[in-house]
C-alpha cells in the first residue's frame, strides 16, 4: 500500500507528485524524497511533510522499520540554501531562514533518536542536508552510485546537520579533512570510512527492500544479517579508497592541528618535502582547495569539529543551530557571497571572500561571534526541543555498531583493553579471527584491519613462542 502527501507546487517537479512520498509494506514504512530535478534538495515544504509522518511512525505500533530513500540520481543533495540566503538577506524574512535550520536540525535528531530501526539508502548523491538525514541511521547503505560530501565551506558556510558530531568521530582526521575541504568520497569508500554501514550494488536494492518488508519480526540483528546477505564483495580490479597508506598518514598528521594556519603549514611542508611524489601532489592539491574556501568558514568549521567531539548529538546540533543563526544574521558576508557565486552565478573563480586571507580572520572573534553571541540562553538563537518520547541524547544507538570496526576498536584489541580481547598480546591472525567472530564474517572487515595494521602497528618477534606480536605505534 502506498500513501502520498499533498501535491507539490514546484514547477520543477511533476504537478501531481508530492516532494515527499510515503509507502507502507508489511512492517516497513518508507519515506521517499521526490524532487529529482532538484536532486531531492530539502526545502521547507518537504520538512513540513516529513516530520509529522516520521513522528507518527515512531510512536505507532504498526511501523517496525523506517526506510529512507530518494528518487533519481540523489538521495538528497542538501538543503535549499538559495532560499535560506534570500530570506536571511532581509530582516523581515530572516526568521524564516533561521526557522528552516531549526526544523531541519530537529528532523535530523528525530531520525537519529527514534525508537525504531532506521535504514537509509544512499543510492546516489548524498551531501549536506542529505547527510544529516542519513548519517546517524543504524543502517546506512552505500552503493557504487553514492557521492558523499559536506561541501559547506565552498559556499561560505560551515558543515552542519550534526557534522561536528559525526565528522569528529570517524577514524583519524578523515572528518576534519572532509569538513574543511568539502572533498567528495564515492562508492565503497563511503563504507570503508564508516559513513555507511554496508555496501550493496544499486541493482540489488529493490530486492533487498522487498526482503526487508517480508520480515515478520525485524530486529536490529535480523536487519543487519539481511543487508549483509545482499552485500557486494570487492572485485579484484576494483580500486580501493585513495586515502590509505602514506597519503592517509600525511592526512592524519596535517589535519591533526587545532588551527587552520597550522594545517596549511603542515600541508606545505608535506607538499615540498615528502619522499612520496603522490603524497606531495595530494598535499599540493589540498592546499589549492583550501585556498578556494572561505577563510572564515574554515575557522568556524574546525572549531566546531573540535568542540563537537566532546558533545552528544543534541548538543552538537544546538551548537550548529547557534552558528547557523550567526550566519543568517550576516555576521559575515561570505554565506551570501558563496551561494551567489557557486550556486547562482556558477563562477569558476575563487569567490570574493571577506576577509580574503586566513591571517585576517581573528580566532578570538570567531569564537565570540559564532560560538557565544547567539545562544538560546541569551535569547538570540532558537532552542532545539525534540519530542519527549525520543531516546535520551546520551543513550542513542551507536551509529557505528553495524559498520566496519573503527581504528579505536582495532587498537583496543591490539593493546588488550577491548572487552573481548582476553589477552595483552595478539598476533595478526588472532586479530583477524577475533573481529571475524565479532562482526560475524562481515564483508570488508579483513581489508580494513590489514590496512590499519600496516599503518599503525609494528611486529615484535617472540622467538620462544615462535610468534609475531602486534604492537600499536604510539
CB 36 within 8 A of CB 29: no
Pairing of strands 20-25, 28-33: antiparallel
- Catalytic pick from 43, 152, 334, 451? 152
Per the annotation, the verdict on 238 as an active-site residue is: no
- 3-state secondary structure string across 401-414: CCCCCCHHHHHHHH
Contacts of 104 (CB under 8 A, 6+ apart): 42, 47, 79, 129, 132, 161
- Catalytic pick from 70, 79, 132, 444? 79
CA distance 154 to 341: 10
The count of other CB atoms within 10 Å of the CB of residue 186 is 15
Peptide bond connecting 355 to the previous residue in cis, omega within 30 degrees of 0: yes
Per the annotation, the verdict on 194 as an active-site residue is: no
C-alpha cell at 328: 543568517
Provide φ and ψ at 230, rounded to 5°.
-95, 5
CB 153 within 8 A of CB 416: no
Per the annotation, the verdict on 70 as an active-site residue is: no
CB 193 within 8 A of CB 170: yes
The β-bridge partners of 471 are 458
Q: Cα 300 from chain centroid?
A: 17
CA distance 265 to 259: 10
Per the annotation, the verdict on 237 as an active-site residue is: no
Q: Which helix (H) or strand (E) holds 457?
A: strand 457-462
If we measure between CA atoms, which residue out of 200, 217, 197 comes closest to residue 136? 197
- Distance between start and end Cα atoms, the chain: 56
CA distance 100 to 360: 31
Helix axes 205-214, 220-229, angle to 10 degrees: 150
- Catalytic pick from 68, 70, 78, 129? 129
- Catalytic pick from 160, 171, 252, 334? 160
User: Catalytic residue numbers?
Assistant: 79, 129, 152, 160
Amino acid at each position: 500500500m502506498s500513501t502520498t502527501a499533498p501535491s507539490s507546487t514546484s514547477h520543477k517537479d511533476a504537478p501531481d507528485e508530492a516532494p515527499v512520498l510515503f509507502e507502507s509494506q508489511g512492517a516497513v514504512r518508507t519515506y521517499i524524497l521526490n524532487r529529482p530535478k532538484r536532486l531531492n534538495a530539502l526545502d521547507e515544504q518537504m520538512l513540513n511533510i516529513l516530520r509529522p509522518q516520521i513522528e507518527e511512525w515512531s510512536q505507532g505500533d504498526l511501523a517496525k522499520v523506517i526506510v529512507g530513500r530518494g528518487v533519481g540520481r540523489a538521495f538528497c543533495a542538501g538543503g535549499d540554501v538559495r532560499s535560506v540566503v534570500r530570506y536571511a538577506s532581509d530582516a523581515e524574512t530572516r526568521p524564516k531562514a533561521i526557522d528552516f535550520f531549526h526544523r531541519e536540525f530537529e528532523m535530523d535528531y528525530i531520525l537519529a533518536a527514534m525508537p525504531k530501526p532506521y535504514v537509509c539508502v544512499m543510492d546516489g548523491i548524498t551531501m549536506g542536508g542529505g547527510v544529516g538525514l542519513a548519517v546517524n541511521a543504524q543502517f546506512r547503505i552505500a552503493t557504487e552510485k553514492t557521492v558523499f560530501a559536506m561541501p559547506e565551506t565552498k559556499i561560505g558556510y560551515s558543515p552542519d546537520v550534526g557534522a561536528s558530531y559525526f565528522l569528529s568521530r570517524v577514524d583519524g582526521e578523515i572528518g576534519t579533512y572532509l569538513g574543511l575541504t568539502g572533498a567528495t568520497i564515492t562508492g565503497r569508500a563511503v563504507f570503508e570510512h564508516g559513513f555507511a554501514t554496508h555496501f550493496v550494488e544499486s541493482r540489488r536494492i529493490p530486492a533487498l527492500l522487498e526482503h526487508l518488508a517480508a520480515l515478520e519480526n525485524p530486529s536490529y540483528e535480523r536487519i543487519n544479517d539481511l543487508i549483509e546477505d545482499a552485500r557486494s564483495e570487492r572485485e579484484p580490479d576494483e580500486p580501493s579508497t585513495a586515502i590509505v597508506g602514506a597519503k592517509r598518514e600525511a592526512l592524519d598528521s596535517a589535519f591533526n592541528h587545532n588551527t587552520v594556519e597550522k594545517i596549511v603549514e603542515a600541508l606545505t611542508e608535506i607538499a615540498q618535502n615528502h619522499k612520496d611524489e603522490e603524497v606531495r601532489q595530494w598535499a599540493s592539491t589540498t592546499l589549492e582547495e583550501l585556498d578556494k574556501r572561505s577563510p572564515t568558514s574554515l575557522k568556524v568549521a574546525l572549531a566546531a569539529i573540535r568542540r563537537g567531539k566532546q558533545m552528544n548529538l543534541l548538543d552538537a546540533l544546538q551548537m550548529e543551530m547557534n552558528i547557523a543563526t550567526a550566519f543568517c544574521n550576516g555576521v559575515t558576508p561570505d554565506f551570501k557571497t558563496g551561494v551567489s557565486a557557486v550556486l547562482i552565478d556558477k563562477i569558476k573563480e575563487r569567490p570574493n571572500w571577506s576577509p580574503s586571507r586566513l591571517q585576517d580572520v581573528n580566532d578570538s572573534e570567531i569564537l565570540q561571534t559564532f560560538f557565544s553571541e547567539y545562544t538560546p540562553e541569551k535569547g538570540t538563537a532558537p532552542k532545539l526541543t525534540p519530542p519527549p518520547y525520543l531516546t535520551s541524547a546520551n543513550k542513542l544507538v551507536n551509529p557505528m555498531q553495524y559498520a566496519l570496526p573503527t581504528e579505536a576498536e582495532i587498537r583496543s584489541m591490539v593493546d588488550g583493553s577491548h572487552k573481548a580481547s582476553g589477552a595483552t598480546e595478539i598476533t595478526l591472525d588472532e586479530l583477524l579471527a577475533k573481529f571475524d567472530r565479532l562482526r560475524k564474517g562481515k564483508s570488508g572487515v579483513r581489508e580494513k584491519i590489514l590496512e590499519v595494521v600496516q599503518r599503525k602497528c609494528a611486529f615484535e618477534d617472540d622467538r620462544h613462542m615462535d610468534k609475531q606480536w602486534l604492537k600499536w605505534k604510539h
